Structure 1
């Protein structure tokens, strides 16, 4: 790794990185409540109204309750009757904290590597159980900034808050399209699948090797 290409800071996504897979969680919700595990993600991908609801919510223009109501209506349009209240919570109920990734973030920070969160928010309680200001040097959340990934502006804000340029930073995200967008800005990218693999990739990318990243299990 050349001095020119080495990185000195890491930005992490939240859902699917610090937690178990969001896609798997939504699929389980679809199977259990909708009778079709593909429906939630298919709705966001293919239904223009549902997609706009998600964009407006993640960018802070649409609150928790109106988003739940709108999404429930779109599910009903697909022939699926769901309880509106608590819908987001039920979609996220199967997500569990990934302790190995939380440990990785802590170990990087202890080794002097600036760490930040760059996350598209979903619902009022999606970060419950995580003390984000304690875990990270900087926190950037889409609903507070009015812009969402994969917009380059959210990555820029995350880098600015860490005091680094994009070419000095690594983005860790479970969605490949978000990594592609980060790389277009000059960041290095890691598509997260499991903690040990992510730790190994970071140990190769960072100019200051974190002493414990390669041993995270």
Structure 2
């Protein structure tokens, strides 16, 4: 079997409020204002597809949110999103590989984050056979093409695949191909699934 795991809020906890807090401190824009104005809009999606640079992304977000930040200040806030690993999921991933299954990560991410989390959390690469990143693939979830590409690269069919993600739209995208898709709603979702299915 092929098991595909999302990264944020599946393998590692993330929290956008931490990002806003840092940006608020630097920009002196009230936190509540930033929380209201932050949207995962066109610049966000284009950045995750690798279509614009980190600097262009930072400038677009600062303009959208009315923040005057240097690129360094923006980046410091952007990396604050990472809270910590979910060791119970890492353990599941190792167990699956021991049993002969293929385990990969598929994440909508961007170059800025990849300067941070691989070094901060080396356990992720150690627990996965391969890591697929949207910026490198030129596509992002829930585009059906990104799932098709992973299946093609891995040599598995949809009915041999299980996918875990915390975003309902991403789950629907995978389900369109017939992939068994599990919506991760909390830290217990993945361990509970495998307690019944392993």
State if a TM-score over 0.5 links the two structures.
yes
The 10-residue stretch of structure 1 (80-89 or 59-68) with the greater mean CA deviation from structure 2:
80-89
> Structure 1 regions of 5+ residues with no counterpart?
1-7, 46-50, 210-217
For 1:159 and 1:99, how far apart are their aligned partners in 2? 26
For 1:85, what is the secondary structure of its paired residue? helix
> Which of 94, 104, 129 in structure 2 is aligned with 1:106?
94
For 1:106, what is the secondary structure of its paired residue? helix
The 10-residue stretch of structure 1 (145-154 or 67-76) with the greater mean CA deviation from structure 2:
67-76
Q: What CA deviation, in whole Å up to 9, does each residue of 1:55-89 have, x standing for no partner?
A: 1110011122221122112111xxx4444324244
Task: Specify the alignment match of 1:169 in structure 2.
Answer: 161
Task: Specify the alignment match of 1:85 in structure 2.
Answer: 72
> Which of 96, 101, 118 in structure 1 is aligned with 2:106?
118
> Structure 2 regions of 5+ residues with no counterpart?
none
For 1:44, what is the secondary structure of its paired residue? coil
Contact 2:18–2:77, Cα closer than 8 Å, also in 1: no
Q: Does 1:75 align with 2:61?
A: no
Q: CA deviation at 1:113?
A: 1.7
Q: Does 1:44 align with 2:32?
A: no
For 2:53 and 2:188, how far apart are their aligned partners in 1? 36
> Which of 2, 9, 26 in structure 2 is aligned with 1:9?
2
Task: Specify the alignment match of 1:27 in structure 2.
Answer: 17
Distance 1:83 1:121, change over 3 A: same
Q: What CA deviation, in whole Å up to 9, does each residue of 1:101-140 have, x standing for no partner?
A: 2222111111222111111113242533244553222221
Q: CA deviation at 1:11?
A: 0.2
RMSD (Å), alpha carbons = 2.4
Contact 1:29–1:37, Cα closer than 8 Å, also in 2: no
Corresponding residue pairs, total: 188
Q: Which protein has the bigger helix share?
A: 2
For 2:125 and 2:157, how far apart are their aligned partners in 1? 21
Q: CA deviation at 1:27?
A: 2.3
Q: Which protein has the bigger strand share?
A: 2
